[in-house]
Structure 1
Amino acid sequence: MIELGSVIKDLRSELQAAIEAGKDENLRFELGPIELEASVAVERSDSGGGKVRFWVVDLGGEHKKDASNTQRIKLSLTPRLVGTHQAPQISGHAGADEE
């Protein structure tokens, strides 16, 4: 299992790599909303302030959880560039009217 926060961090890294890889491409795509669906196990820790952690369950692995111990969640993420309300471009150059 992996923490949900790590999954989102890895997704952010992959999207950043796609932006960098497409810098010199003529064709570009605007990155729209991202839907992430996962099976998660919820764990509450009584130590350290009662922290709740969400673990993404790998159903193909050895650490399979019962259906009663997992929940399916769906997150809708809308990527934005820092300091703007613009959607990132995952390839190509921004035109003069887009800067």
Structure 2
Amino acid sequence: MPDFENIELAAAVTAIRNQLTDAAAAGAAESVRFEVGPIQMEFEVELRREAGAKGGVKAWVVSADADAKVSQGRTHRVAFTLTPKDATTGHGVEIGNDSGGDTSRFGSVD
């Protein structure tokens, strides 16, 4: 079982980016394309000061189970909206392919 109690906020956002990239690649053979719209994300986070030369404050995602263990005074709710863009074209991300699709068999029973 993966350790979900120590996920940095940056890693959570990276995971969403990776999932969208995987979905775009997997959808290349599909006949219907979907445009990815704004993605609203909300997390409960715990802010921790990191020690060491590169220390600083990092936000760690708090799971529902861990939230009971962490005092409310140390957790914060973070919400934001991401709008995916293709780094090359600057246009929105699409999942699917250029095929126009076909509805001729819509509603038919095989």
TM-score (norm 1): 0.83
- 1:46-98 superposed Cα distances (whole Å, 9 cap, x missing partner): 53254110000011248731222100010211110112221111122278xxx
Change (3 A) 1:88 1:94: farther
Tell me whether 1:70 sits opposite 2:75 in the alignment: yes
Query: Which consecutive unaligned segments of at least 5 residues does structure 2 have?
Result: 101-110
Aligned match of 2:27:
22
- 1:7-65 superposed Cα distances (whole Å, 9 cap, x missing partner): 11111111111101110111111011111100000112353254110000011248731
Aligned match of 2:16:
11
Distance 1:62 1:51 in 2: 22
Query: Which consecutive unaligned segments of at least 5 residues does structure 1 have?
Result: none
Range with bigger deviation, 39-48 or 55-64:
55-64
RMSD value, Cα? 2.1
Percentage of matched positions with identical amino acids: 34
Is the CA contact 2:44–2:78 (under 8 Å) kept in the aligned structure 1? yes
Aligned match of 2:56:
51
Paired residue total: 95
Range with bigger deviation, 54-63 or 81-90:
54-63
Aligned match of 1:38:
43
Change (3 A) 1:63 1:48: farther
Aligned match of 2:91:
86
Distance 1:17 1:49 in 2: 32
